């Protein structure tokens, strides 16, 4: 009887161990299947991100081609022609001799000769009038033409532009307040396109963010905001934050960064301190803390991946990024 019980006990033990092994095998298969699905999803998201970037590059190339075609169809007037056109009213008003009619059938060489003769006569007449002290109607000099090179499409004046190179680069990217809503619309469309891509890739960040709010750069191991950047923040923050609050569908992320020197933990903390300093500087325009979030990436996302002073200067920064409101 004892032998029979022992036999049945051994048989039961084998059956239970087999079931346990089967359960473990089934669980391992489920785990492997789940991991495979996650990997496939990540690959799919990566492919979608690459397709999006390729599409944007193609659109940018097409826009550049269209602009080039427009320039070829409508060539700009040469500087010499513009200068002659600006001087022409003065030349007509200051000469006493009747205007000569140029025959359109005269060859180009003769026309140039006649124009040269007219300019010579004008010069001689002006010299004579300057020597004559009894002349009642003095010859007036043409108004000086001032060419402003910076900025071409903003409402900054050259005296307000920063003097440092990095601050000047940030300032020249900024759009005037009247263009803020359009840039914000473009950012919102991009966010809707990429919202399902859970990829921490800096290439997915819309460059229009830097057209709305300036990139703030810092000295080594510092959190003090320089005066050039304080002016840019005071200029852009009111209209940008007002437009964001009127929309009600986005929030502003303030992200701090550091260069590669120092430990990861220290650089994360330093990035937080920089982001907090910038956040406090615009708090007057952003009273609702729910409209902004503060984050630090430390040295994880450098602007310049090289190692050296120039790269480090660029990488010590705070960036503003608009995100969809949760």
In 3-state terms, what secondary structure has residue 259? coil
What digits encode the pLDDT tens for the residues 149-159?
444 444 445 55
Summary mean pLDDT of the chain? 76
pLDDT computed for residue 5 by the predictor: 75
43, 41, 56: which is closest to 193 by C-alpha?
56
Percentage of residues in the chain having pLDDT higher than 90:
41
| Beta strands per DSSP E along 93-150 | none
Confidence (pLDDT) at 282: 93
Compute how many other C-beta atoms are within 10 angstroms of the C-beta atom of residue 241: 22
Would you say 218 and 274 are in contact if contact means Cβ atoms under 8 Å apart? yes
Category of 248 on φ-ψ map: left (φ > 0), alpha (ψ -120 to 50) or beta: left
Contact assessment for residue 239 and residue 89, using Cβ atoms and an 8 Å cutoff = no
C-alpha dist (Å) from residue 112 to 101, 107, 109: 13, 9, 5
Mean local confidence (pLDDT), 53-65:
76
CA torsion 248-249-250-251 (nearest 10°) is: 50
What pLDDT was estimated at residue 148? 38
pLDDT at 27: 72
Per-residue model confidence (pLDDT) at position 110: 58
Residue 136: the pLDDT is 46
As beta bridge partners, residue 217 has 317
- Cβ-count burial 39-58 (b if 16+ within 10 Å, e if not): eeeeeebeeebeebeeeeee
Give residue-wise pLDDT tens across range 77-106.
444 444 444 444 444 344 444 444 444 444
Least confident of 1-5, 86-90, 287-291, 315-319: 86-90
Tokens of 67: 């602009």
* DSSP category for residue 294: E
């Amino acid at each position: 009887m004892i032998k029979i019980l022992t036999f049945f006990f051994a048989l039961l033990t084998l059956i239970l161990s087999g079931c346990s092994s089967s359960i473990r095998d089934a669980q391992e298969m489920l785990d492997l299947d789940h991991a495979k699905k996650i990997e496939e999803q990540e690959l799919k998201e990566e492919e979608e991100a690459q397709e999006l970037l390729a599409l944007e590059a193609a659109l940018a190339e097409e826009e550049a081609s269209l602009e080039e075609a427009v320039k070829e169809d409508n060539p700009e007037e040469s500087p010499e022609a513009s200068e002659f056109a600006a001087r022409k009213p003065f030349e007509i008003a200051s000469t006493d001799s009747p205007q000569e009619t140029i025959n359109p059938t005269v060859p180009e060489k003769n026309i140039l000769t006649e124009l040269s003769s007219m300019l010579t006569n004008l010069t001689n007449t002006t010299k004579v009038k300057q020597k004559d002290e009894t002349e009642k109607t003095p010859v007036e000099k043409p108004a000086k033409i001032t060419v402003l090179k910076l900025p071409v499409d903003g409402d900054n004046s050259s005296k307000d532009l920063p003097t440092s190179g990095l601050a000047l680069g940030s300032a020249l990217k900024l759009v005037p307040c009247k263009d803020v809503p359009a840039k914000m619309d473009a950012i919102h469309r991009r966010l809707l396109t990429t919202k399902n891509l859970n990829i921490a890739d800096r290439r997915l960040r819309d460059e229009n963010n830097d057209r709305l709010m300036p990139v703030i750069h810092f000295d080594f191991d510092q959190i003090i905001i320089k005066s050039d950047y304080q002016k840019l923040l005071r200029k852009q923050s009111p209209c940008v934050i007002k437009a964001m609050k009127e929309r009600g569908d986005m929030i502003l992320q303030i992200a701090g960064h550091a260069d590669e020197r120092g430990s990861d933990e220290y650089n994360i903390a330093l990035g937080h301190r920089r982001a907090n300093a910038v956040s406090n500087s615009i708090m007057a325009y952003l009273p609702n803390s729910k409209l902004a979030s503060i984050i630090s990436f430390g040295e994880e996302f450098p602007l310049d991946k090289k190692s050296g002073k120039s790269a480090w200067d660029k990488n010590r920064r705070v960036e503003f990024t608009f995100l969809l409101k949760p």
